[in-house]
Structure 1
């Protein structure tokens, strides 16, 4: 029988507590060393992240009327191409910056709005300059020009040093490419006269690369760029090329995966050569395809049609409260209209991306 004195017993218990707490102590140190949240989230791209910039330009690519915004705050149609929040809103919330990323154009932006980030995105644009011209929207090059104007506004608010800090430490997101493939290449004859599909994909990837490099030279350092979704499974594309059964188009999906593969490699190349840059390719194809192919796993009941109207072709002006039926509960649908996911689908998608990329998005 071993007898331990009371003093030694107390010491033993204290040592045991210290040993038990050691992993928590390491975790606490690691948490304290985590890089701070970015001061702002700044967004470029197409309708997936356009919160209303198209409201103030002359284009058919608008959605600032019901039933768009059906489940947004105040049931307000803000110009977001969905029934509610869009990915940029969820991303800003995930990063702890703010709940909604406002449009740069057409809204009264406060100083806080500006210094915490805005979206320059315009529904209908693409990496191919022709894509924006076809529907008269704000090209990505013009979005960069707006960003330069924005930087001057921020400088006037917070001064040069703080403005430089905001520029270099903000989280930048680029989401485009869907319209290039679905609308410009496959749906119109213009680019097919100049390019075969592999050449066109290379052209759009190089255009995306040029955009990222220009953004870098304007001061951005943390740049995330999303790949194309499974465009062959969008309700509109099922209707157009999916036959009587409206199946996913393998050709369109293969084009998206080829684009994504090349874009991923090019972004990794830029990440290696741009000094102090963190360029991240984000795969949205895989998680969105899982929602589409296995909707019940996520609590959805419909993934082949949109909530608006028949759900097979209605989008923008053909999705309206005067001429179309709208489903009662959009949360049961993966798609809001024939082209854009619902708020709930976006929420799930961004959560999945946050789990996969974690601190890389920060």
Structure 2
């Protein structure tokens, strides 16, 4: 899922331009409280491609043809998206779309497994993300979706296709200068650790965060080994504060499920430390590994919704807003769904609305982008 998981959202980098002065101009406020960012790169520099790995926060439809309940290719998903439902777990765009849009790469980031994907899509970036995936292989396996190692296999396949079309030299340039975003982990907390006894019986919170950090470390090393040089790893959100987790573990008042937030915090600490450790190993010029914090930006939206133009932060727009997500947010949910998702921080019981994603995306860029240069 989530994020930003997810950020389920939620990430942003550019290619390596040595000894180049970069000017970033951020336009962060516009009418109706929407937030957009405009990035200006001097000397006509451009970002060739953006490739994304992770879960439902950045999955634009890779799960559509899988035998899984982790899908969003039906109404009311996509009700505010041009063309309707696509498999994106939101009412509109998801963070991966917003990233490529803000950097001027293209309007949307397609799913690699979309039958309509063409060579030009591969050259400029695709998403390999699969809803319900996590660094813990059991997260994806229990949901019958694409594991993180499986997503890397798809990326290898993608590289071969690009190489066959444009040659080895151009492929190497695209791969080395592209932006890579890794957004996953929320499902490890909410679906695997707290719902599957096989993990909780073997690990306490710190032990489990160490366990998944090992998988995260290997993933980043493998991605680096394939040529990636600008990699952003998104941390976990306050998963215990999303609507469905409030309902499941927040008691009669639907408070935040603090045990999940504690694990998310421990998870983030390990991932952040992992990035620091890997930096001491990956010392080649131009290599950037960055931990992108989403925990506190999303928590701010939840705790201060009015500040950002929202009216509701504890339930989702879809259906009752208490629990529905994936196949449980479906056409039967439409009569109960809110008329205006822009008033809600969350679209369903697990995923933020498009408006929330826009705010979070701009915030993450503003917080971390300069670290990539």
TM-score, length-scaled by structure 1? 0.89
Cα displacement string for residues 264-307 of structure 1 (whole angstroms, at most 9, x for unaligned residues): 11112212311232000000001000001100000000010000
Q: Contact conserved, 1:228 with 1:256, CA < 8 A, in 2?
A: yes
Q: Contact conserved, 1:80 with 1:86, CA < 8 A, in 2?
A: yes
1:163 aligns with 2:171: yes
Q: Contact conserved, 1:87 with 1:346, CA < 8 A, in 2?
A: yes
Partner of 1:86: 94
Distance (whole Å) between structure 1 residues aligned to residue 371 and residue 166 of structure 2: 27
Distance (whole Å) between structure 1 residues aligned to residue 211 and residue 55 of structure 2: 18
Matches within 5 A, 1:1-362: 31=23, 36-74=45-83, 76-274=84-282, 275-276=284-285, 277-324=287-334, 325-360=336-371
Distance (whole Å) between structure 1 residues aligned to residue 65 and residue 180 of structure 2: 23
Cα displacement string for residues 30-64 of structure 1 (whole angstroms, at most 9, x for unaligned residues): 64767933210000000000000000111111110
Distance (whole Å) between structure 2 residues aligned to residue 282 and residue 195 of structure 1: 26
TM-score, length-scaled by structure 2? 0.87
The runs of 5 or more residues in structure 1 that have no matched partner are 1-27
RCO higher in structure (CA 8 A, sep ≥6): 2
The runs of 5 or more residues in structure 2 that have no matched partner are 1-19, 24-40
Distance (whole Å) between structure 2 residues aligned to residue 140 and residue 29 of structure 1: 35
Partner of 2:26: none
Q: Contact conserved, 2:205 with 2:266, CA < 8 A, in 1?
A: no
Q: Which has the higher helix share?
A: 1
Q: Contact conserved, 1:171 with 1:361, CA < 8 A, in 2?
A: no
Residue 339 of structure 1: how far off its partner (Å)? 0.2
Q: Any runs of at least 4 consecutive aligned residues in structure 1 with deviations exceeding 4 A, and if so which?
A: 28-35
Distance (whole Å) between structure 2 residues aligned to residue 191 and residue 53 of structure 1: 27
SS of 1:322's equivalent in the other structure is: helix
Number of corresponding residues: 334
Quickly say closer, same or farther: Cα 1:340–1:333, change in 2 above 3 A. same
Residue 257 of structure 1: how far off its partner (Å)? 1.1
Distance (whole Å) between structure 1 residues aligned to residue 70 and residue 81 of structure 2: 19
Distance (whole Å) between structure 2 residues aligned to residue 149 and residue 48 of structure 1: 23
Q: Contact conserved, 1:354 with 1:361, CA < 8 A, in 2?
A: no
Residue 216 of structure 1: how far off its partner (Å)? 0.4
Kindly report the root-mean-square deviation, in angstroms, between the aligned alpha carbons of the 2 structures.
1.6
Partner of 1:21: none
Quickly say closer, same or farther: Cα 1:77–1:273, change in 2 above 3 A. same
